[in-house]
Structure 1
Amino acid sequence: MTGPGSAGQVDGPVLSRPVVVRLLVVLAAASGCIDVFCVTRLGGFFASVITGNLVQLGHAVATTKPQLVAGGATAVGGYALGVAGGMLPLRRLGSGWRRRTAGVAVAESVLLAGVAVGWWATGGRPGYAFGLALLGAASAASGVQSVITLSAGIRGAATTYLTGSLTEVVRGAVLDPHRIVAGAGGISRLLGLFVGAVLGALTLTVAPRWAPALAAALVVAVVVVAVGLAQRGATTERGRHG
């Protein structure tokens, strides 16, 4: 029989806060990369910026443009499905980066890899219907990433929608300029998103068929680092108690 604390012992946080903060910056870069790809190559919709997608969708409905309506609905619906799917393995766990978190990140990387393979296989010309499928998969990946971020144990952190992060950074600086360091995590993620968008745009220019692969590679890098550090921590802990 297990006690109430057994779940935390079996799958408790495995990474420290500073490590998680750095991993979230890389995830923000992946988000910037996949968003610049989607908005420039898949019909003008973002993978993660639902506010912008809803505005676009509303405009499409008002102007009766069926193709844009389908694109907006796919982007918003794909994101929602990603959030729901990402929550399933994490819903009974507390906050913090856990072993299952890496598993959810693997699911995100698989979705992004699927987008990359689909884009490459069609020579960067997926057509309307397959383009919708790629947009849906990219949006689902962003939804999964949002769940990972919210579950990671960093209060107020975001890696896919950073309006709140910018608001908090500026608000904190105005209220108390001496506390600007407290907003360093938010600033880092904002810069990560920006750098990811720049890198994604450059890749679209010099090697367009490989553009989505960059976002997938960034998420894979996060998984590899997270699993490696967690394993090293577990080995150290076993040695300490051995």
Structure 2
Amino acid sequence: MYRLSLILLLLSQCLHLSASEELSLLGSLKSHDSLTVVSEIDGVITSLGYDRGEQVSESKSLVQIDSEDYLLMLAKAKASLALSKADMKAKRARVERYRKLKAKNSLSQEQLDNAEAEFQISAFTVDLQELAFEDAQLDLQRTIIMPVADYWVTEKLIEKGDWVQKGQTLYRLENFNKLEAVVYVTENHINRIHPGQSVTIYAEALPSKTFTGEILRVGIKPESSKNSYPIDIIVNNRDGLLRSGFTVDARINVNIEQE
């Protein structure tokens, strides 16, 4: 009798510990990693490498902006820098000459001070011209915008021949290797959900396929429009079968005893 009671007790505990249920939560997919490409200079678009829906390559540029004006500005900056350096060199030589004359009492201190001040001003001018030259180099480099691998063009907002301004959005890119599903749970279930929990994903568009996911974030405040808590799930999409906007069913096994 004692042995039978012990077996029944252990069986009861096992059943009690393993009690769980599967939550089925509907949501939609969005990109987990996106980029907005903006112009860093003003100019005319001379070439566009990609259209909407195309995957970008590191070997082919996204955008090319007319570089003629920037080549000219670089040449001017280079010439101005060379002139400033020549002027500084001449004023340094004068200071050295004046110091020798002052040592022989053949020059006043005021004349030496003035020469040294002019030399300092010329040195500062060289510093400024070097910065201007570096800026001109950067602006020339910015006429070509290269993409990052593994991204797709989701929006192309300009056309060849358009005039664009600094800060203007040119493209929007998304990486689909990982997607993010947003689902919502009620207050009755929120305490059963935690980051790192595994999730099985079913997509309406691919009924015969299953995908794996993991809970990334758990909301701490309900959304007023839904009166439920947002849950963000990272979904592995290495095969590229899923897309942003797909409706998905996220299945999460939770322990009933955690309520």
TM-score (norm 2): 0.24
Higher helix share: 1
Higher strand share: 2
